[in-house]
Amino acid sequence: MSHRPRFLRPLAATALALAALPAAAAHIELQAGRSYMDNRAANAVFVESVFAAHPLGDTGIRWAPDLSLGWINGRDIERYRHARYGTSDDIWLAAGGVRLSAGDSGDWYSHFFYGFQVALHSGRTQALSSAYEFVNTVGWQWRHLSFQVRHISNGKLHEPNRGETMALVGVGFDL
C-alpha cells in the first residue's frame, strides 16, 4: 500500500473536523508530533478546541471545556503481528474533558496547563486495548503556540495497557 493515501486520510479528516467544530469555541489548535509505544514512534495529529475558561471558586484555578479529535498512525512491530491486539492499525480518537490552569494572565505560570479527557477510539491495539481511554496532557500555551506531552491509556482497567505517550507542538487561533 502506498504511503500517500495514509497521509491524505488524516489530513482530510483534520480539515473536516476543524470545519465542524462549534462556533462558540474560544481557541482551536492543530497539534502534531510523535507518539511512542515500546520505544517505537508513530505520527500523531490532533485538532483541539478549548472553550472559554471559568474560575473554580476563589482558588485561582480556571477550568475550560476541552474537545479533541485525533489520529495516531499504526506501526509494524513484528513481535505483535499475531497477537490478539496488533500495532499496525491507525487509531482515530474523539475525546472530551477539562483543561485546568492557574494564575492571572500576568503570572509567569499562567501559560502552563493540565488537561484530562475521556476518549473513545476506532480500534484496539497493544497500546489502546479498551473501548475507552483516559487522556492526560501537561503543556504550555502562549497565544498561537503550544508544547505538550500527552499520555493516553486505560489506566490498567484492561490488558494489554501499553499506552501511547506523545510530544506535540500546536498552532492555534482564537475565534
8 A C-beta contact, residue 146 and residue 174: no
What is residue 1's predicted lDDT score, i.e. its pLDDT? 42
What is residue 102's predicted lDDT score, i.e. its pLDDT? 95
Instruction: Give the cell for residue 69.
Output: 479529535
What is residue 172's predicted lDDT score, i.e. its pLDDT? 95
What is residue 9's predicted lDDT score, i.e. its pLDDT? 58
**pLDDT tens for the chain, residues 1 to 175:** 444 455 555 555 555 555 555 555 689 999 999 999 989 999 999 999 999 999 999 999 999 999 999 999 999 999 988 888 999 999 999 999 999 999 887 899 999 999 999 999 998 999 999 989 999 999 999 989 999 999 999 988 888 889 999 999 999 999 8
- Pairwise CA distance, residues 8 & 140, whole Å: 29
The residue with cell 491509556 is 153
> Considering the entire predicted model, what is its pTM?
0.84
Cross-strand bridge partners of residue 69: 47, 94
What is residue 4's predicted lDDT score, i.e. its pLDDT? 45
Domains and CATH numbers, the chain: 3-174 (2.40.160.20)
What is residue 2's predicted lDDT score, i.e. its pLDDT? 41
